[in-house]
């Protein structure tokens, strides 16, 4: 089944080259001040039950700079003479441990195949990092990920600084090879959403659609980029619903928000469709309104435009639509309110999108509500556009006609900003009503 679903999928694009990792390291080091060293650690493991762990996911900053994904890895950038050097500390080889937990490369294996200058065993971390810190005025480090490194850095007497300030600016603009990986990630996710539409029938469980989607990711040596949301009826009105345990009933809408990772790069797609293949009049009215808002949001994704333009574009369409449907009353200014926080926010309570990349909610400060300075969109940025409207029947705080109750709609695509306008990386996933209705329940 999975091979059929994705028969149109091209080959996985080439991985990011060693030259590109080296260029990133050079650009990063160029931005560091004074006599400094920078330490980039990996993510901790996370316990699921007693002595078993959640699948490991590397830290995106360490991956971005070194391509090193093994847990406990630490990269240190320091100046030797006038040259910046990247030293990678890794777990040492240990056959007794490897028999249980899998093979590790050790310092020699890491030096052979990774874009770094030097490697060392993590067992030497303390002595050798203390030596490097000795001559430094500034240490760039993010605490909270690697306890051992935090303890070593705690003894440093100079300035502590955050390396993410520089790395976020770099990561927010994607290179050609990153864009190709993201294009593929978007395409795989798009095809799996189509498969979910084709297999959807009343009486199935939300988890069945989740299984189809995530099985397809796995089949392609990919995995989910975030916990998949499959919510029907009122469940679709809960923004972070991940239970996925309800039966999908005739007459309900189902909202699927699911994306995958390819070489660490996320896609993030939401589609909403009727479980039985036919929108009711009320569902159709809300769906068409959200789609109109989403298209306006995408059109606002122009190089040179402030980040907030897309949110204002979607908000304006949604607020006007809510007035036209009689769900809100008054003028458009009343509905939008001060600071774009008026009554329409009862039904559209999240931002319009976020940056996308190695993290699904990627770095760069482009999430509404983050309280960081607004970005101007530039070619190479990838953002999501995902307006929605939610009318939970369970909501005691809203006063609406019963025909709207239980409707939740979100539509989300991944958009590449270019000089010549927005490119929808997830365009293979249909979203107009006719196309969607013709797919649902056809196998
Ligand atoms: N899937 C998470 C989001 O859309 O932001
Ligand atoms: Mn999103
Ligand atoms: Mn999403």
**What is the per-residue pLDDT for 81?**
85
> Does the pLDDT value for residue 2 go beyond 90?
no
Reported as a single tens digit per residue, the pLDDT across 99-111 is 999 999 999 999 9
Nearest to 182 by CA among 257, 264, 299, 258: 264
Q: Which two tokens stand for residue 399?
A: 């006063």
Q: Hey, how many other C-beta atoms are within 10 angstroms of the C-beta on 9?
A: 15
Cβ–ligand 1 contact at 362 (below 6 Å): no
Q: Distance between CA 352 and CA 384 in Å, rounded?
A: 8
Say how many Å lie between the CA of residue 259 and the centre of ligand 2. Answer: 9
Check if 410 is active-site. Answer: yes
| H helix or E strand, kind and range, residue 129 | helix 125-134
Strands 83-90 and 265-266: unpaired
Reported as a single tens digit per residue, the pLDDT across 184-238 is 999 999 999 999 999 999 999 999 999 999 999 999 999 999 999 999 999 999 9
Reported as a single tens digit per residue, the pLDDT across 123-173 is 999 999 999 999 899 999 999 999 999 999 998 999 999 999 899 999 999
Atom of ligand 1 nearest to the CA of 258: 1
Q: Distance between CA 197 and CA 269 in Å, rounded?
A: 13
Active site residue: 241, 410, 414, 437, which one? 410
Domains in the chain (CATH in brackets) are 18-171 (3.40.350.10), 175-439 (3.90.230.10)
Check if 257 is active-site. Answer: yes
Atom of ligand 1 nearest to the CA of 350: 5
Reported as a single tens digit per residue, the pLDDT across 63-98 is 999 999 999 999 999 998 889 999 999 999 999 999
Sign of CA dihedral 259, 232, 433, 3: positive
Sort 152 into a burial class: Cβ within 10 Å, 0-12 / 13-18 / 19+: buried
Nearest to 75 by CA among 43, 41, 122: 41
Least confident of 224-233, 356-365, 387-396: 356-365
Q: What angle do CA 65, 117, 25 make, to 5 degrees?
A: 30
**What is the per-residue pLDDT for 396?**
96
Check if 361 is active-site. Answer: yes
**What is the per-residue pLDDT for 374?**
83
Q: Hey, how many other C-beta atoms are within 10 angstroms of the C-beta on 112?
A: 9
Say how many Å lie between the CA of residue 88 and the centre of ligand 2. Answer: 33
The model's pTM is 0.97
The residues that bridge with 161 in the sheet, in sequence order, are 140
Q: Distance between CA 275 and CA 208 in Å, rounded?
A: 13
Check if 50 is active-site. Answer: no
Cβ–ligand 1 contact at 252 (below 6 Å): no
Q: Distance between CA 90 and CA 120 in Å, rounded?
A: 6
Running DSSP on this structure, what letter comes out for residue 396?
A: T
Strands annotated E in 325-443: 382-385, 388-391, 407-410, 413-416, 423-424
Reported as a single tens digit per residue, the pLDDT across 18-61 is 999 999 999 999 999 889 999 999 999 999 999 999 999 999 99
Q: Whose CA is nearest to atom 4 of ligand 1?
A: 268
Mention every residue, 6+ apart, whose C-beta is less than 8 A from residue 430.
194, 436, 439
Say how many Å lie between the CA of residue 110 and the centre of ligand 2. Answer: 35
CB 256 within 8 A of CB 271: yes
Say how many Å lie between the CA of residue 266 and the centre of ligand 3. Answer: 10
Q: Whose CA is nearest to atom 3 of ligand 1?
A: 268
């Amino acid at each position: 089944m999975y091979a059929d679903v994705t028969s149109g999928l091209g080959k996985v694009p080439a991985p990011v080259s060693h030259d590109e990792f080296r260029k990133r390291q050079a650009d990063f080091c160029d931005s560091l001040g004074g006599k400094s060293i920078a330490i980039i650690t990996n993510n901790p493991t996370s316990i699921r039950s007693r002595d078993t762990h959640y699948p490991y996911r590397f830290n995106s900053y360490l991956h971005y700079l070194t391509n090193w994904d093994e847990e406990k890895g630490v990269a240190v950038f320091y100046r030797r003479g006038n040259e910046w050097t990247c030293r990678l500390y890794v777990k040492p080889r240990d056959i007794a441990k490897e028999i249980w937990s899998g093979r590790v490369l050790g310092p020699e294996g890491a030096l052979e195949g990774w874009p770094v200058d030097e490697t060392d065993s993590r067992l030497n971390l303390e002595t050798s990092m203390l030596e490097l810190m000795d001559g430094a005025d500034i240490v760039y480090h993010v605490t909270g990920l690697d306890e051992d490194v935090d303890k070593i850095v705690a003894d440093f007497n100079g300035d502590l600084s955050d390396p993410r300030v520089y790395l976020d600016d770099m990561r927010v603009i994607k290179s050609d090879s990153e864009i190709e990986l993201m294009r593929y990630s978007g395409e795989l996710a798009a095809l799996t959403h189509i498969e979910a539409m084709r297999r959807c029938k009343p009486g199935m469980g939300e988890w069945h659609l989740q299984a189809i989607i995530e099985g397809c990711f796995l089949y392609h040596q990919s995995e989910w980029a975030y916990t998949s949301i499959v919510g029907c009826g009122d469940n679709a009105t809960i923004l972070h619903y991940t239970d996925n345990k309800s039966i999908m009933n005739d007459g309900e809408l189902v909202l699927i928000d699911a994306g995958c990772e390819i070489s660490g790069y996320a896609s993030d797609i939401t589609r909403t469709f009727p479980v039985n293949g036919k929108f009711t009049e009320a569902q159709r009215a809300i769906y068409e309104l959200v789609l109109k808002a989403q298209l306006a949001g995408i059109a606002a994704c122009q190089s040179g435009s402030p980040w907030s333009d897309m949110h204002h574009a979607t908000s304006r369409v949604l607020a006007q639509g809510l007035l036209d449907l009689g769900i809100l009353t008054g003028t458009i200014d009343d509905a939008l309110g001060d600071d774009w926080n008026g009554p329409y926010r009862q039904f559209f309570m999240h931002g319009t999108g976020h940056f996308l990349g190695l993290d699904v909610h990627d770095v760069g400060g482009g999430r509404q509500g983050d309280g960081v300075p607004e970005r101007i969109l530039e070619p190479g940025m990838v953002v999501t556009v995902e307006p929605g409207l939610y009318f939970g029947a369970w909501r005691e705080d809203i006063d609406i006609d019963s025909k709207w109750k239980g409707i939740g709609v979100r539509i989300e695509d991944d958009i590449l900003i270019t000089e010549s306008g927005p490119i929808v990386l997830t365009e293979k996933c249909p979203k107009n009503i006719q196309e969607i209705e013709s797919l649902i329940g056809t196998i």
